[in-house]
Chains A and B, each alone.
Chain A
Amino acid sequence: MAARAVALPAWRSLTPARRREALQGLLFISPWLVGFLAFTAYPMLASLYYSFSAYKILAPPVWVGLRNYAYAFNGDPLFWLSVQRTVIWVVVTVPLGIFGSLLAAVLLNRGLKGTNLYRTAFFLPSLTPTVAAALLWTWILNPRFGIANAAIEGLTGLRGPNWLADIDWALPSLAMISLWTAIGGNRMLIFLAGLQGIPQELYEAARVDGAGPIRTWWNITVPLISPAIFFNLVLGIIFSFRVFAFAFVVTEGGPARATYFYALHLYTMAFRSFDMGYGSALAWILFLTVLVLTVLNMQLSKRWVYYESLR
């Protein structure tokens, strides 16, 4: 209803043809709109309401204004700790992940023999179900029985680190697992699709013009796959802020909270401490942070993302 109030003046200024286009557009997005209103809007708004409430799940929520938010920023000893872990995670894994996937895609795009097989090989790690992957990695990185340390010992004669059990190694270990499983996954395939959409003629023309590989890369490849980079960047940021599964199943946030990510804190508060009100406040702080970053990203994207047909 608020939306209509804003939309109406804009609507009046439209020409009949543009109104028709707008109506058609709304019609096309209507499946999503209906789904959003039916299954997403209410749960989201309900959780927003919880975030301003004392809501212990088994008794109705009681409005407490900003108390949950105040406690998060000023009082909760684990809030800033989990924020710090998460920010490190995002800063490390997003660029490395995107760069790694892009590199893998470029290598696979060379059209060498057996590419199909390589592509599948790269993709495989991302297919293993989390519950199996978690067990698998605890085996591989197990300080005592694991094959990683057996290999290190065999090659160098030195003892490998304690990996997931070591306060300093746990987060890098998790990052390594995450990169290993994800580099060849969705991201790489999307880059690959982008790379293969680049017309060969453009490269030939560039060669005729005497452009070197670096200039070709920056002037042709990067602009043309920029929609894919943008896609992976936006989703990479969203999902890495929500990092949860591995830390939950493998390290449970430990040791000594070295991998106690924000989403883990949120889960603990909501489901372990029965504090859905505070959990919701944490969720909405996360939501706003990521939303701001995404909108910023969308704004900035106008400068560097090249669309064939953005209108």
Chain B
Amino acid sequence: MFVFPFFWTVSSSLKSPRDILTYPPPLLPAVFKWSNYPDAWTTVEFGPYFLNSTIVTGATVIGGTASGLIVAYGFARFRFPMRDALFALCLSTLMLPPEVTIIPLYVIFKNLGWLDTLTPLIVPSLLGGGAFTIFLLRQFILGLPFDLDEAATIDGASKLRILFDVIVPNAKPALAAAAVFSFINHWNEFFQALIFLNSKKNYTIPLGLYSLRTYAGDPGEPKDQLLMAGSVIATLPIIVLFFAAQRYFVQGIVTSGLKG
């Protein structure tokens, strides 16, 4: 039942425009129109978009998860004045709809000369990776016993060393999860890319997908089946990544052995 929408996406991506509107809808296309895939690929120039999305996503997943881990470590393992208030402030950045902050943000990036470049999609994420990542990793670190840190401290390890030698090995599942979520978020990010990018050469995949949407007043033919093909193409890297990251999710958590 959960696979059905995806199955339907794939099936529709192989249909002719006419198949899409027949009733009852055929589960499989009458003729498999494989040419929808190369058509989708060339219609939106997926090549450069893939490269752009890969740059943005690669940089933000690695940089964001790493810096998010550092920040989460700070929130989880240190006591300092205003810590909870600062943490609430961090979470609060998720609460304001982006529509009302987009104009001042746009002005900042304009003054930095970053408009129509990939920079505004990358740099802010390198600084902590966003509240979602920080919160997720903080929750996870709080689930690790403090004994581990103390034992390392007695051995003379610095706080940074503890992060890398104690927390990271134990936090692999959470880091993998955070990286996957970050990947999905940035791979599919649409609103900021729409506002900050102008030139086609700088477009990311979601912008390419949206340009396959069909509107009543558009010249040219309806492209619904191409949109489906495009979205299958766009989703494939995430599926591959998810498969690759699977073993980290299930990798048992080492802490269990240290208890009691």
| A contacts, CB < 8 Å to B | 3, 6-7, 10-11, 14, 18, 21-36, 38-40, 42-44, 46-47, 50-51, 57, 115-116, 119-133, 135-137, 139-140, 144-147, 150, 153-154, 180-181, 183-184, 186, 189-190, 192-194, 196-201, 224, 227-228, 230-231, 234-235, 238-239, 241-242, 244, 263, 266-267, 270-271, 276, 279-280, 283-284, 286-287, 290-291, 294-295, 298, 307-311
Contact A40:B249 (CB < 8 A) given known A34-B127, A120-B242: no
Contact A131:B128 (CB < 8 A) given known A7-B82, A46-B104, A150-B25: no
* Docked pose: A169 CA to B3 CA in angstroms: 24
For residue A263, give the distance in angstroms from its CB to the closest CB of chain B. 6
| Interface-centre pick from A25, A290, A291 (highest chain B CB count, 10 A) | A25
Residue on B nearest A18 in the bound complex, by CB: B79
Within 8 Å by CB of A129, from B81, B235, B246, lies: B235
* Docked pose: A47 CA to B97 CA in angstroms: 10
Can you list 27 contacts pairing A with B, beta carbon distance less than 8 Å?
A11-B81, A21-B78, A25-B78, A28-B74, A29-B71, A31-B67, A31-B70, A50-B100, A124-B239, A125-B2, A128-B5, A129-B188, A131-B209, A132-B230, A145-B23, A147-B27, A150-B24, A189-B249, A234-B135, A235-B132, A242-B95, A263-B97, A266-B99, A283-B97, A295-B88, A298-B88, A311-B77
The reply to whether B146 and A311 contact each other, CB–CB distance below 8 Å, is: yes
For residue A230, give the distance in angstroms from its CB to the closest CB of chain B. 7
Which positions 134-178 of chain B face chain A at CB distance < 8 Å? 134-136, 139-146, 149, 159, 173-174, 177
Residues of B within 8 A of A50 (CB): 100
Interface string of B96-110 (1 = CB under 8 A from A): 110111111100100
The reply to whether A124 and B227 contact each other, CB–CB distance below 8 Å, is: no
Within 8 Å by CB of A145, from B21, B105, B180, lies: B21
For residue A227, give the distance in angstroms from its CB to the closest CB of chain B. 4
Q: Which stretch of B6-14, B28-36, B43-51, B54-62 is in the interface?
A: B6-14
| Interface-centre pick from A46, A128, A235 (highest chain B CB count, 10 A) | A128
Residues of B within 8 A of A239 (CB): 94
Residues of A within 8 A of B94 (CB): 235, 238-239
Q: Which applies to chain B's interface (DSSP): helix, strand, loop or mixed?
A: helix
The reply to whether B78 and A47 contact each other, CB–CB distance below 8 Å, is: no
The reply to whether B96 and A28 contact each other, CB–CB distance below 8 Å, is: no
* Docked pose: A235 CA to B86 CA in angstroms: 17
The reply to whether A238 and B5 contact each other, CB–CB distance below 8 Å, is: no
| B contacts, CB < 8 Å to A | 2-3, 5-6, 8-9, 12, 20-25, 27, 67, 70-71, 73-84, 86, 88-97, 99-105, 108, 123-124, 126-128, 132, 134-136, 139-146, 149, 159, 173-174, 177, 180-181, 184, 188, 190, 206, 209-210, 213, 224, 227-228, 230-231, 234-235, 238-239, 242-243, 246, 249-250, 252-253, 255-257, 259-260
* Docked pose: A6 CA to B80 CA in angstroms: 13
Contact A39:B108 (CB < 8 A) given known A132-B209, A199-B256: yes
Residues of B within 8 A of A242 (CB): 95, 97
The reply to whether A3 and B82 contact each other, CB–CB distance below 8 Å, is: yes
Residues of A within 8 A of B159 (CB): 24, 28
Q: Apart from A6-B82, A153-B24, what are 14 other A-B pairs with CB-CB below 8 Å? A: A21-B79, A32-B67, A32-B134, A46-B104, A125-B2, A126-B184, A196-B173, A199-B256, A235-B135, A239-B94, A241-B95, A242-B97, A267-B97, A294-B91
The reply to whether B99 and A135 contact each other, CB–CB distance below 8 Å, is: no
Residue on A nearest B8 in the bound complex, by CB: A136
Residues of A within 8 A of B93 (CB): 36, 40, 44
Residues of A within 8 A of B67 (CB): 31-32
Contact A32:B127 (CB < 8 A) given known A197-B173, A270-B99, A309-B145: yes
* Docked pose: A205 CA to B84 CA in angstroms: 36
Residues of A within 8 A of B5 (CB): 124-125, 128, 133, 136-137, 140, 180-181
The reply to whether B144 and A270 contact each other, CB–CB distance below 8 Å, is: no
Residues of B within 8 A of A309 (CB): 76-77, 141-146, 149
The reply to whether A44 and B101 contact each other, CB–CB distance below 8 Å, is: yes
The reply to whether B3 and A124 contact each other, CB–CB distance below 8 Å, is: yes
The reply to whether B83 and A136 contact each other, CB–CB distance below 8 Å, is: no
Residues of A within 8 A of B190 (CB): 130-131
